[in-house]
Structure 1
């Protein structure tokens, strides 16, 4: 699971939990995206935060 409230640490920080409203809000706000854009990126690149951030950065420049 991407966001386990009990187990915390590096593993959990490397994931974007799209099913958690605050995580999705933070991700879309950080990159200046709409909710739909953020969800599409997470759907396409999975919950890997690095890959999603890289994809969002590329999208923002276009």
Structure 2
């Protein structure tokens, strides 16, 4: 029988689980990270989050256009 892999989940500063699949549009550090990653402005990232929601995949796809 194969051994189960131990998965570790990152914790936020408040002790909750972090959801890396989402972009928090109100958090400047997340907006800056996404802007730097895609080469777009922070305001473009915020607009994309408003338009397509906070799914990181959808935001990245929107900004890639």
Report the TM-score when normalising by structure 2: 0.71
Could you list the runs of 5+ residues in structure 1 that have no partner in the other structure?
Answer: none
1:34 aligns with 2:41: yes
How large is the RMSD of aligned CA atoms in angstroms? 1.6
Answer with 1 or 2: which has the greater Rg. 2
> Which residue in 2 is equivalent to 1:7?
16
The count of corresponding residues between Structure 1 and Structure 2 is 53
Report the TM-score when normalising by structure 1: 0.74
Could you list the runs of 5+ residues in structure 2 that have no partner in the other structure?
Answer: 1-10
* Greater helix proportion: 1
